[in-house]
Structure 1
Amino acid sequence: MVVAVVLLAVAAVSVTQSTREFREVRGQRMIAVAENTASLPIVRERFADPFAAQILAPDVDRAVALSGAGLAEIISPDGIVRASSDPSRVGAPAEFGTSDSRTGRAWFGDVDIAGVHSLVGQVPILAVTGDVLAVVSVSERYPSLWQLLSGAGERLAVYLSLGALLGLAASWLLSRRIKRRTRGLEIAEIAGLADHREALLHSIREGVVAVNTDGEITLLNDSACELLGLDSTVIGRRVDSVGMDPAVVDFLQSDPDSDGAHTSAGPDTVIATRTRVLALNRRAASSDGHSIGTVTTMRDSTELATMRGQLSSHKSVTDTLRAQTHEFANQLHTISGLVQLGEFDAVRELVGALTRRRAEISDAVTQRISDPAVAALLIAKTSLAAERKVALDISGESSLSPLDPAMATDVITLLGNLIDNAVDVSEGSAEARVVVGITGDGIGDGALMINVTDSGPGVPEHLRESIFARGVTSKPEGAGGPAEKRGIGLALVRLVTAQYGGSVAVTDATGGGARFTVRIPLSENAHA
């Protein structure tokens, strides 16, 4: 193929050069013959004679014979052929093209005569006053492509031979380079590998995103499109211009060294978008020792994260029951000792105090919260918070009717995460207190409202969006703190809220700390 292209290029150059030489050499020849004819006395004297066609026929024929041209004519200023070496053209209109011979100048150029592309030389016959009396035109048709090639002769043979040698050398060098770059694979094998690669990438369940060093997406499989809410048309565009979640954009654009992407087994990073919880793992990509970008794989961990949050909430109740079991055992031991000592009045006072304290905690919750699951969670969290010397109060405005079991499960997930975070940041503060408010009676705007206020340091304004988006790194047990402090917390709160079409926001609390507000629209079936 390369040799053929080179030969065609050489032939085209040769034809172009031959055509140019023909035009220059033969054009001057046409003008010379036309000037010679125009200078003949008989032509100057008889060009206007009514019988000029017969009288001047020998002269125009002689011009054709002398020049080897195809046609010689004498034309009147009004463009009518008066005499011609082709008698059939006498009296017909002549073709001038772009000629300016009728202005008194000699000219040669291309003109289509009777549909034949020809090289024409035209010379005016001038009067003493300078007026144009007639025009002598001598023309020759352009040679065919075959005539040009054959006319090139030895020169063309040399060019083609040289071109063939250069083509063979170029083909050999090119094929050697291609073989080296493609590791000896043929074109069909390369195409097969490419098709196989595409099929594999788009069939795996994990999402795959490749980003080059300029921050442009170079690969995006079907699973990644689904997880990120994109389509394949974004390939070739920058990651920050395709509408991805900001937390994912920040992760893809961050320094690969910052998250262990250059290590052999980098940890997963959990990121919660507004609709999904994604576990991402990134590796640096290189070619010939040069970095070409990163490759990120992602899995949908939404269901797992939701179940984990629910399990965490239920575990809180279990932990509380376990703690209460120990507490009751200690209290029973105390009562048993007092009975053995015969201190029956002390037993009565102790049992009364314990009963009143338990009743106060339960009544504070159950009088306002009618849903048993949510009430149990709040009672459990109150006891757990007290063990950490944090007071957990239920606001006086709280009022919750029984919920649908499915929704109640999600509500305790929301409350559990919000209260755990609030207790964590409030512990050790001057007045360690968490206030929970929850309303949802299907009246007013028909929304379930949850407010959790803590006495911690608060949330800086520039972090009030990102705290709901970025999760934490998945690490082995014992690394990075207790396992319960390595969940996705607030990200899960936003995810569950979004599933109901609700919203979550954080503001400054009165007197310091942070106030988290969740609003969930209540449907007709939200209540049991």
Structure 2
Amino acid sequence: MILMLGLFIYIDYSRTYERTEENSLQTAKILSHMDTVQDSISTEDQSAELPPIIDYYKSQVGASFIVIKDKNGQILTHPNKERVGQVTTFKDEFTAIVFGGFYSGISGETMGQAIVGVAPVYNDDNQIIGTVKVGFLVESLSGAIFERAKNLFYFSLFIFVLAILSSVLLARSIRKDTLGLEPEQIAAFYSERRAILSSISEGIIAIDASGNITLMNTAAKEILDLAHNHITEPIQSVIPTFVLSEQFINNEIHQSFELNVKDKILIMTTVPLRNGVNQKGAVITFKDKTETIGMVNRLFEVSKYSDNLRAQTHEFTNKLYVISGLLQLGKYDQAIQMIQEEIDVTEYENRIVFEHIKDSNVQAIILGKMGMASEMKTSFVLDENSSLKELPPFIRTGALTIIIGNLIDNALEAVSAQEKREVSFFALDIGEDIIIEVTDNGPGIHSDLLYEVFKQGFSTKSEANHGFGLANVQKIVRGLGGDIQVTSDDSGTTFSVYIPKTEKVEGDLI
């Protein structure tokens, strides 16, 4: 305010000075061309008409004084009546009386510091016969400028007080909106929030009451395979199947549901954001259920490995008990014969496995399932026509365990009620595909159910926690770019898996 007030006074003074100079000079010129002035100077007669004219122009232009002299220096008009008729030397009027010039400037000769305009007076013969000087006191001009500045100061002061009151009210409103936090606290809170959101593994998306995205963390972009945050865009632009109206119409505090987004099953939870009773938006948190399922499958296969080892241990323990009993009874020949038979069987099984199957992961799975089948009193046969080399690196151990393990487990369970239990395994990698077949002599699958066996949750068993194995197998196979088929009749069921040897660009691998 002080700066602007000073600037105003400076500009106002400069403009007033310029206007006054122009006004004084212009008035002096006008008076110098008036016949009454010229006649009064020429006749050296102080006409009675001259003072009224001078007073009129003084009042019209606001001049402080008007001084008229003839060429001899005699004063015809002067603000001090006593000086009228006196003869003085030319000071301010020297240039006008000698050279006939028109000019303005600052002078202190007449009544103190004043802005004066001087003009020569010519007669009809174009001779200089006198001068006219019009003056405006600087003191009067400064007083007028001061009055305008004072009025401006009072107005500015009123605006200043009004601004203070408005600022106080605005500050209260802002503090209410910011929950009383100071700017540095808000900055710290924002930094902490960003760090926390970046560290959370679950996806978080915040939306406003119109359904537009206002916040998205890094995990959300990774889960949804997004390149940027999509801020201000509708939520449907990143989750097309998300129905906004249902979330806002429902008055529950929390909602949890599943959505299929980009071939992923997301477990989603929505929490509404409210300002009193007004809905301000919602926070959506979600996680990839497929990752959870993958983790469960890996834990399941670890458990299967443990069960297979336990089955083998149990089977060999039983045989060791028999051999120990025979030795204690002194029947050494029978004990040796039993040991030899076991060696022959083990060597035969191992020879078949290691000669036909070159991949160590598949070997480990087959050997484990052989022990499990032996414990279940089921004949597990590796087809002698099998031929499988080292598998490509993109087919991971977890994928093999789920595919082969689930197919063999289902086959063993399918023949568990049969009098003669047989399960065979066949693998071949000739050509562009890897072929894996598991066959059992179980009761078979009804033709109406052949298309249902790969659906998640479908099972022919009445017990809970079934119906996920074949669904996971199909998902893994298709993620590897392959296919799975099933054929079944009264003599048994065969599951055939076809996996290409070249890696798929975007696969769902475990």
TM category, shorter: 0.3 to 0.5
Higher Rg: 2
Higher RCO structure (Cα 8 Å, ≥6 apart):
1
TM-score (norm: length of structure 1): 0.44
